Amino acid sequence: MKPSDGPIGLFDSGVGGLTVARALARKLPNERLLYFGDTAHLPYGEKSPEAIRTYALGISKHLMDQGAKAIVVACNSASAVALDVLKEELDIPVYNVIDPVVHYLQRKHAKNIGIWGTRATVASGIYPRKLTEVLPKSEVRPMATPLLVPVIEENLLKGQVTDAVVQLYLNDARMHGVEHLVLACTHYPLIASQIAKQLEEKVHLLRIPTIVANFVAKQLEEGHLLRDRPATESHHFAVSDYTESFEKISRIFFGKGIHLQEENIWI
């Protein structure tokens, strides 16, 4: 089998990375995806950097054992603190969800940028650091928004609870004057419509999954790692701890035919 015929591996702490998986499946219909949701350790945003690195490396090696030709770290927290370890330890390409966003904002010459993310992502300082390197005149305002992940994982994608949490964060003084809002957690696009309806018209809400999918597709093409014909096997979705909410949300993205398999790789 040619290296390009292998599947693309993706992982996240839970359901959020499915937003990236869906965008990749649409962008690259010939490709087979291997998705791993580490629901046993959700949420990564509340874990130590050392723990996140351990989880990320273990999952990536698990996906490689299943034939993955590349790894997409479909999690901002893991992208922020584990990327260097993964690139050092793995001998296949590793992509993250931060660099594509930075490149996109650079092309847009963005100035006033709001960042919503987990505590781990915000504490890493990675977005301000990377953005000010390419946009030295920009103002970057990172905000930890930890209440959003549990709301999403409980499948509360619409309604008063979600609206109240979104409004709480939008009312923060750091949001005043923001022109671009980055949802720096792959869970958050699941409630993008709820966020968008409360935003001021001048605020541009980035479509992160599409931005990431376009970036990864280009990188795989340049590395001659795209399949030249459709994969014969279907996508594979696994979790480290099966939950009903994960399966319900996963079917929103990939239909009723999705099969979730529990794979406890930590034993």
Write the pLDDT tens digit of every residue in 222-263.
Answer: 999 999 999 999 999 999 998 777 787 787 777 666 778 899
Per the residue annotation, which of 21, 75, 126, 208 is the catalytic one?
A: 75
CA distance to 7, 92, 217, 230, 232, per residue, from 31 (Å): 6, 16, 10, 7, 9
Q: Is 1 a catalytic residue?
A: no
Residues 245 and 179 in one domain: no
Residues 39 and 93 in one domain: yes
Range 29-50 average pLDDT: 93
The model's pLDDT over 134-166, given as tens digits with 9 standing for 90+, comes to: 999 999 999 999 999 888 878 888 889 999 999
Question: Is residue 113 included in any domain, yes or no?
Answer: yes
Per the residue annotation, which of 94, 178, 181, 185 is the catalytic one?
A: 185
DSSP assignment of 84-116: HHHHHH-SS-EE-SSHHHHHHHHHTT--EEEEE
The model's pLDDT over 72-118, given as tens digits with 9 standing for 90+, comes to: 999 999 999 999 999 999 999 999 999 999 999 999 999 999 999 99
Residues 72 and 23 in one domain: yes
Which pLDDT belongs to residue 253? 73
- Dist. CA 208–CA 19, nearest whole Å: 9
Which pLDDT belongs to residue 257? 66
Domain that holds residue 109: 99-208
Residues 88 and 28 in one domain: yes
pLDDT at 267 > cutoff 60: no
Residues 158 and 173 in one domain: yes
Residues 118 and 195 in one domain: yes
Question: Is residue 174 included in any domain, yes or no?
Answer: yes
Residues 148 and 241 in one domain: no
Residues 8 and 84 in one domain: yes
Q: Is 263 a catalytic residue?
A: no
